[in-house]
Amino acid sequence: MPNIGRNRRKTLAALAVTGLALVAIPAPAHHSTAMFNWGKEVPMKGATVERWDWTNPHTFLYVAVPGANGQVEHWAFEGMSPNHLGRTGWSKRTLKPGDKIDLTYYALKDGRKGGFNVTVKLADGTVKKQLESPSTRPGPAT
């Protein structure tokens, strides 16, 4: 009888360790780009930065731009993670409300005013890229 209790404790301990090990293994996040017209870059000139969110897992850029009818349109663009952008020269101070920029983006397929930001051209002419090349797709958040 004492062996049954000991075996049961060993089995429960082994299951607990296995469970903790599975929880501790990071799983790569899946970020689909299916919502964007990927690879079809659209230019936007004369945008004014409203907000630049330097947050994980993705950055977000909010801009105002004059619309065809003269009304101001508000657009939102997803970007790469702060970790990724930080390695390519971006920072949380790269864009500030009121900055005048030109940008390119991959539009949302559903026609809403937004997309995935590809490049930003700053007032001084500096061009910042979100991706290394147009064929690059975001992978797991880094």
3-class DSSP assignment, residue 61 = strand
Is 141's pLDDT higher than 90?
Answer: no
pLDDT band at 132 (very low <50, low <70, confident <90, very high): confident
- Tens digits of per-residue pLDDT, 37-94? 999 999 999 999 999 999 999 999 999 999 988 899 999 999 999 999 999 999 999 9
Question: Long-range contact list for 2-7, CB < 8 A, 24+ apart?
Answer: none
- In angstroms, the CA 81 to CA 65 distance is 24
| Pairing state between β 114-121 and 72-78 | parallel
Task: Give Cα separations from 48 to 5, 33, 73, 114, 122 (angstroms).
Answer: 70, 25, 10, 14, 11
Q: Where are the domains of the chain?
A: 36-129
Superfamily of domain 36-129: Nucleic acid-binding proteins (2.40.50.140)
- In angstroms, the CA 77 to CA 116 distance is 5
**Predicted local distance difference test score (pLDDT) of residue 68:** 87
- In angstroms, the CA 12 to CA 63 distance is 56
Q: Across residues 99-128, what is the average pLDDT?
A: 97
- In angstroms, the CA 79 to CA 108 distance is 13
